């Protein structure tokens, strides 16, 4: 049986020490990243501070529905689901071209997306229309170039959100938990809207 020389034993101990330090550093970095997400997710939003103007119906449910796992499509056949945005704040708006309040609201959502979309925040609009052509025409007519033309082919999103009508907007935290919602149209270029988004993003 061969024994390590003192020199080789020292080298082995040094290698083990380096590996141990590296493991601690990696774990520390990962923990810091997870802590950031938890900290953002647990942030309490004082809803009453923003219930003004078109945001009078802003609310935070005590027991909101779980984020749906529904898959959405666009006109090019691409698919996505809300879990694809994990780690970001998501402002999801459910609308339709045949919904008059939705039609009024959409340009302000496009303006918000132009101004605030980033790696931390996404404005996501999902249509209940079943005709891609109708969505294309609406986007072109209103110059909505900052939004993606997602739609819900099964038309089952609104019931899963316990929505009583359209439009409805729900804000999710980075863990996919609902933190606020507003039923009916809202002006997303208003001072209260921008203040709400800034508060959420900690700006």
Q: What is the pLDDT of residues 41-65, one digit of tens each?
A: 455 678 888 999 999 999 999 999 9
Distances 12 to 5, 8, 17, 23 between C-alpha atoms, Å: 10, 6, 9, 17
Same domain, 60 and 20: no
Q: Helices 100-116 and 191-201 sit at what angle, rounded to 10 degrees?
A: 50
Among residues 10, 25, 42, which one ends one of the domains? 42
30-44, 99-113, 127-141: lowest mean pLDDT where?
30-44
Same domain, 108 and 194: yes
Same domain, 16 and 88: no
Instruction: Supply the range of the domain harboring residue 9.
Output: 1-42
Same domain, 17 and 88: no
Residue 23 pLDDT > 70, yes or no? no
Same domain, 36 and 52: no
Local structure of 18: helix, strand or coil:
helix
Same domain, 106 and 37: no
Q: What pLDDT is recorded for position 28?
A: 42
Which residues have CB under 8 Å from 53's CB, separation 6+? 187, 190, 192
Same domain, 23 and 54: no
Predicted TM-score (pTM) of the model is: 0.79
Same domain, 133 and 56: yes
Same domain, 164 and 110: yes
Same domain, 37 and 52: no
Q: What pLDDT is recorded for position 72?
A: 97
Same domain, 112 and 176: yes
Same domain, 38 and 56: no
Name 178's bridge partners.
172
Mean pLDDT, residues 103-111: 98
Residue 123 pLDDT > 90, yes or no? yes
**Which CATH number belongs to the domain containing residue 128 in this structure?**
3.40.30.10
Q: What is the pLDDT of residues 169-198, one digit of tens each?
A: 999 999 999 999 999 999 999 999 999 999
Q: Give how many domains the chain has, as a whole number.
A: 2
């Amino acid at each position: 049986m061969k024994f390590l020389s003192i020199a080789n034993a020292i080298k082995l101990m040094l290698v083990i020490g380096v590996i141990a330090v590296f493991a601690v550093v990696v774990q520390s970095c990962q923990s810091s990243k997870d802590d950031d997400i938890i900290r953002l997710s647990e942030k309490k939003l004082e809803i009453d501070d923003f219930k003004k103007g078109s945001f009078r119906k802003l609310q935070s449910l005590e027991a909101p529905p779980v984020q749906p796992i529904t898959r959405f499509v666009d006109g090019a056949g691409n698919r996505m689901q809300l879990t694809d945005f994990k780690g970001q704040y998501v402002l999801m708006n459910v609308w339709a071209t045949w919904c008059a309040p939705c039609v009024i609201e959409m340009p302000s959502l496009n303006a918000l997306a132009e101004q605030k979309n980033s790696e931390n925040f996404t404005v996501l609009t999902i249509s209940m229309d079943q005709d891609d052509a109708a969505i294309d025409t609406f986007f072109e007519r209103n110059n909505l170039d900052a939004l993606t033309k997602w739609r819900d082919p099964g038309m089952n999103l609104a019931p899963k959100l316990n929505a009583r009508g359209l439009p409805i907007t729900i804000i999710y935290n980075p863990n996919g938990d609902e933190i606020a919602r507003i039923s009916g149209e809202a002006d997303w270029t208003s001072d209260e809207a921008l203040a709400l988004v800034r508060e959420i993003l900690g700006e």
